[in-house]
Amino acid sequence: MFGPELINWGLDPFQGVRGLRREMGRLFDQYLDAEPYPPVNIWASGDEAVVKAELPGVDPKDVEITVKDSVVSLSGERKAEEPAEGVVCHRCERGSGSFSRSFSLPFAVDREKVKASFANGVLTITLPRAEESKPRKIAITAE
Amino acid sequence: MKEEKDKQVQKSSKQISQAVETARDLPVFLPATDIYEKEDALLVACDLPGVDEKSLEITLEDDLLTITGTQDLSEPEGHELLHRGYLSGIYRRSFTLLTEVDRDKIKATISNGVLKLELPKSEQARPKKIQVTAG
């Protein structure tokens, strides 16, 4: 990899540095692009918000959802499955560990009515909008 | 070579498989997989969130194991999308086992979005102890 760069030094002494910067940028892009764990999709209508998170292999008992005003927090742990003795691992890509994420919704949530369900490793949280935060129509009376 | 690798950089924490283009307009992802080997079996664990037993297909052709699972693609109706952290599509991945497997005894279960496969080794593929006798 040094070959062509050494030859070009006479023409552009900073080529190596530029290459390094490009490489670093690429490295950062890779990490900045990646969605933090767990990946989440959020939808909202006038009356409620829906949050879906992909949590395969996570026990619903190990997930905690908290709601305060318009902020939903999701935390929990994906436990590692300890393989039995005498087992060789050829590929270990499925990670484990604890996670925590918070999201700010566009409106305050009625926390008494929040519902969460877990199916096929996907967590779905339905968060109804708090009555107080809904826009109110004001009737105009003609005098 | 390096450019090629960069194209496969993870997007939204799922690795997109780009080897072949798909006929259906759905992204194809490589599911994160663990493969363990026991003395008498191969164990495969595969993260397939949003896939149920009906939308999952597992085939073993010669020693090529292929796992294909289509995710639940439904989205809440009448809602506006605020944030997309993951795409939904098809999980597909193939492995060459390199081990003779007893096809009749393969067990597959899926729960909580994780597929577990147990592929018992055929008699010939199991390690055999050879008794040494002193002569």
Domains in chain A, start-ordered, CATH in brackets?
3-32 (no CATH), 37-81+94-133 (2.60.40.790)
Q: B85-117, pLDDT tens digit by residue?
A: 999 999 999 999 888 899 899 999 999 999 999
pLDDT band at A88 (very low <50, low <70, confident <90, very high): confident
pLDDT exceeds cutoff 90 at A84 = no
**In A17-96, which ranges are E strands?**
40-44, 48-54, 63-68, 71-78, 88-92
Length of chain B as a residue count: 135
Domains in chain B, start-ordered, CATH in brackets?
2-74+83-123 (2.60.40.790)
Contact between residue B99 and residue B92 where contact means Cβ atoms under 8 Å apart: no
Contact between residue A40 and residue B86 where contact means Cβ atoms under 8 Å apart: yes
Strand order in the sheet with B80-84: A115-119, A122-128, A48-54, A40-44, B80-84
pLDDT, residue B108, reads 95
- Chain A residues touching B112 at Cβ < 8 A: 56-59, 118, 120-121
pLDDT band at A115 (very low <50, low <70, confident <90, very high): very high
Nearest to A77 by CA among A42, A38, A50: A38
Backbone phi, then psi, for B72, in 5-degree steps?
-65, 120
Q: B18-54, pLDDT tens digit by residue?
A: 666 667 788 899 999 999 998 889 999 999 999 999 9
**Alpha-carbon gap: A143 to the closest alpha carbon of chain B (Å):** 39
Backbone phi, then psi, for A20, in 5-degree steps?
-65, -45
Q: Which residue of A has its CA nearest to B44?
A: A91
